[in-house]
């Protein structure tokens, strides 16, 4: 049986808000819960923007790496909340996204005012509404458009519009808070944007297909 333990009510509310936003973006979203270190629990979601989002809280889950239904986890966090809960049966076969291997090897690249990031995201959302494709989603050309390029220590990082869509859709950025920032970090393979209410991650380069 899967068991989730989050002792602090504030952390339960934080995780519930994160899951609620993910389920709002995709009603069939699954959430991967795994222990980062002793006492620190990470929740991961693959968004419709083809980027990952994550939020960490103090807590524990058993097994230490398990995927569950987003809607069932949200119900456990909000309908009958308590320190220990059942997040639902494992849905491990539904998780198909790669996660970054490293948790500590991120190189800081830049720090951006949250107001600027939020403004760029709002402009992108407005443009996407004018260019909705036949499936009701923005065209890939718009999603993959580079909206920010930052660099440090010889590392140049291009941030595509889809990352800002995820930041906006998940409510990670609050432009009304004076001095709020978004931190950009990267490895050779991954890009990471850390905002006040969560982080967005995406591979910087597409994986090459295996030749059979």
Task: Spell out the domain ranges in the chain.
Answer: 3-94, 107-203
Percent with pLDDT over 70 in the chain: 93
Answer positive or negative: Cα dihedral of 18, 20, 24, 28: positive
Contacts within 8 Å (CB) and 24+ apart, 21-26 = 21/169, 21/170, 21/171, 22/47, 22/53, 22/70, 22/170, 23/70, 23/71, 23/74, 25/169, 25/170, 26/70
Give yes or no for residue 35 having a pLDDT over 50: yes
Give yes or no for residue 124 having a pLDDT over 90: no
pLDDT value at position 53?
98
The region, left, alpha or beta by phi > 0 then psi within -120 to 50, assigned to residue 153 is: left
The partner residues of 42 in beta bridges, in order of sequence, read 34, 56
For the stretch 140-196, pLDDT in tens is 888 999 999 999 988 899 999 999 999 999 999 887 877 899 999 999 899 999 999
pLDDT value at position 212?
45
The region, left, alpha or beta by phi > 0 then psi within -120 to 50, assigned to residue 4 is: beta
Q: For residues 109 and 1, which has the higher predicted lDDT (pLDDT)?
A: 109
For the stretch 180-210, pLDDT in tens is 999 999 998 999 999 999 999 999 986 555 4
46-55, 96-105, 107-116, 144-153, range with the lowest pLDDT: 96-105
Closest CA to 113 of 56, 55, 196: 196
pLDDT value at position 136?
59
Q: For residues 211 and 41, which has the higher predicted lDDT (pLDDT)?
A: 41
pLDDT value at position 139?
79
**pTM: predicted TM-score of the whole model, two decimal places:** 0.92
* Domain 3-94, CATH among 3.40.50.1820, 3.10.150.10, 1.10.3720.10, 3.30.56.10: 3.10.150.10
């Amino acid at each position: 049986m899967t068991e989730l333990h989050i002792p602090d009510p504030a952390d339960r509310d934080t995780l519930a808000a994160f899951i609620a936003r993910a389920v709002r973006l995709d009603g069939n979203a699954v959430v991967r819960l795994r222990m980062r270190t002793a006492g620190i629990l990470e929740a991961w979601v693959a968004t419709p923007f083809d980027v990952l989002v994550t939020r960490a809280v103090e807590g524990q889950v058993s097994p230490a790496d398990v995927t569950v239904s987003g809607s069932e986890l949200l119900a456990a966090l909000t309908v009958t909340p308590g320190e220990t809960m059942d997040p639902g049966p494992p849905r491990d076969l539904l998780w198909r996204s790669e996660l970054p291997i490293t948790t500590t090897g991120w190189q800081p690249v830049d720090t951006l005012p949250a107001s600027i990031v939020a403004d760029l995201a709002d402009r992108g959302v407005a443009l996407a509404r004018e260019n909705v494709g036949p499936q009701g989603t923005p065209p890939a050309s718009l999603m993959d458009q580079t909206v920010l390029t930052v660099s440090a220590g010889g590392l140049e990082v291009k941030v595509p519009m889809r990352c800002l869509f995820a930041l906006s859709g998940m409510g990670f950025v609050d432009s009304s808070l004076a001095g709020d920032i978004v931190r950009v970090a990267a490895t050779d393979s991954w890009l990471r944007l850390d905002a006040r209410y969560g982080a967005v991650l995406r591979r910087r380069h597409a994986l090459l297909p295996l030749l059979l």
